[in-house]
Structure formats: C-alpha cells, structure tokens
Amino acid sequence: MEQRPSALLRIAAPLKSLVQRFMYLGLIAAAFGLMLLGKVDAVLVDRVRAEVTDAVAPILEAFSRPVATVSEGIQNFQELRVIRDENAKLKQENARLMQWQTVARKLQSENVALHQLLGVVHDKSAKYVTARVIAGSAGALSNMLIVNSGKYDGVRKGQAVISDRGIIGRISEVSNRSARVLLLTDINSRVPVLIESNRTRAIMAGGNTARTKLIHLPPGARVTPSDRIITSGHGGAFPSGLPVGVVASVSDGGIEVQLFTDFSRLEYVRIADFGLTGLVDMSVQKPTSKSKGGGKSVKK
C-alpha cells in the first residue's frame, strides 16, 4: 500500500517537468501566433481584446474595491483630523471674538454717552458717485487715473476717491464727463495721516513708486512694521479714519507704507463728497482792481 504513492510520485515528477517546458514553449508560440494574427486580421484581434477586457473588468473591479475602500478610509481619517484641528482653532477664535464683542459693546455705550454729554456734532453723511476706470498711468513721471464721471455727475475737484479697500487719491481735474484722479503714490501727493495704534500724526508722501513714505513725524515717534495708517482729517482735504495702508518697513532710508489697494487691478472706484472744502475754497474769487476802487475813479 505504501509503494503505490511513491511510484506515482516517480512518474509524476518527470511529467510535471515536461509539461512546464512545453507550457513555456507554448506561451512563446502563442505570443508569436497572436502577433501574426494581429498583422493578418487586426479587426479580429481588436474584437478578441475587447471581449477579454469585458471578461476581466469585473475581476479587476472586484480587486480594486478593497484598495479604493482602504484609500478612501485613510483620506477620510486625514480629513477628520484636519477638521478637528480647524474646529479647535475656530473655538479659540470664537472665544476671542466674544471677548472683543463685549469690549466693543461697552465702548460703544460709553461713546454714545460721552457724545451726548459733550454735544458732539456728527459729520455729514457722504454722497458717492461710482465711476469706471477708463485709463491710467503708473511710472516715474506721474501716477494717475481717468474715470468716466465728471461735472455732469456731480464730481468736483478735491473730492476723495475710494476703492473697496481704502482711499486711493483725490480728484485733481474735472471735465464734463470725465475726471483725473491723483493717486496717493504720485510725487505731488501729500496726505495728512495718523498711525492708528498711537495716534501719531505724519504726512504721507508719494514718490511715483509702489510704496509711499511717512515724513514730518514728531521727534521720538514710535513706528513699527504692520502699524495701520489712516487719514487724520487735518487740512479739510479728507475726513478722518479712512483706511490707507500699513507700515511695510522702517529703516534709515525712511518709513515705507504699503497701500491697501492694488492700483493695477482697479476697475471701479467711488468718488466721495464729504462736504469738505479743503485748505482753499475754490469758490472764493480774487477781488479785481475795479472792485477795490468801488467802481469810481479817484481824482487827485
């Protein structure tokens, strides 16, 4: 009984080796045959390839599902981790905002009470004209824009021009249907400003460059990068509190300010009429020599 399995193994081993050799040769022959068949009848080969693909597709899909499931699970785990971190940050930010909200409400109530006590006269509400930028230049000679609103739309010389981020300049010339805007970066621009954190006064001057500079600061003024710059309202050219930009750098070469507005991307601006006359009232005319004499000649 024990000799039969050993005899079968002795017979099966050579047969197995022979089958493996012929199988290898058979695969090579089948490959050459398919290549020749593809040269002879390409349509038949394409049809067979399509049938084989259809038959193998369910098997490949079945194998790919576990891999896709594992990959999706890993991705979901990573997203949940990110969401958890963001949720913790939002909770902290919400707590800080609630504290600031409490402080803001308290300051608002105190501000209202002090205004009533002092009888403060509030500024008039501004009137706005929206205009589209139709031309402009930014270079070493001038920094200006041209908008498609003029005298017919109520635009007047000296009015402030504002973007969605802050003030960008003032009206320098007005015609009937257009106006010229002198930008803050122009070399002829001078604007009284404040450093918002410590209320230090300064003059912001343009230099036909992307950044402006702060000049005429009081001695011992403390200025640090990221300080916010706003208009001071002095001189009557602009109202106080309009956002301008932030301090970009403080060095021996001067204090540079990065403006909030990117002039190269401006499409629409608002021309604001705050009811200010500025330093010089343009409506006042100089008296003539005739008016000085009362319209009569004086005889000696």
CATH number, domain at 262? Answer: 2.40.10.340
Q: Is 110 exposed, middle or buried (0-12, 13-18, 19+ CB in 10 A)?
A: exposed
Residue 161 has pLDDT above 90, yes or no: yes
Neighbours of 39 (CB within 10 A): 9
pLDDT tens-digit series, residues 62-104: 666 676 677 777 888 888 888 988 998 999 999 899 989 888 8
Count structural domains, the chain.
Answer: 1
Question: Does a structural domain hold residue 67?
Answer: no
- From residue 172, give the alpha-carbon distance in Å to each of 20, 144, 147, 160, 169: 95, 9, 12, 10, 9
184-200 per-residue burial string, b: 16 or more CB within 10 A, e: under 16: bbbeebbbbbbbeeeeb
Residue ranges making up the domain that contains 252? 127-273
Cα gap 5→186, rounded to integer Å: 104
Chain-wide mean pLDDT for the chain?
80
More confident residue, 265 or 294: 265
Question: Does a structural domain hold residue 153?
Answer: yes
Question: Does a structural domain hold residue 176?
Answer: yes
Residue 16 has pLDDT above 90, yes or no: no
Cβ proximity of 174 and 151 under 8 Å? yes
Contacts for 209 with CB less than 8 Å, ≥ 6 apart: 185
Which residue in 170, 190, 191 sits closest to 181, CA to CA?
A: 170
Question: Does a structural domain hold residue 71?
Answer: no
Cα gap 211→204, rounded to integer Å: 10
Residue 62 is predicted with a pLDDT of 67
In the block, tokens 């050219």 appear at: 237
Indicate the residue type of 293.
G
> On the CB side of 200, how many CA atoms lie within 13 Å of its CA?
20
Residue 167 has pLDDT above 60, yes or no: yes
Question: Does a structural domain hold residue 112?
Answer: no
Question: Does a structural domain hold residue 20?
Answer: no
Residue 278 is predicted with a pLDDT of 54
Question: Does a structural domain hold residue 231?
Answer: yes
> On the CB side of 158, how many CA atoms lie within 13 Å of its CA?
15
Long-range contacts of 281-286 (CB under 8 A, 24+ apart): 282/157, 282/158
Question: Does a structural domain hold residue 268?
Answer: yes
State both tokens at 141.
């000679």
State both tokens at 92.
């902290």
What is the model's pTM? Answer: 0.56
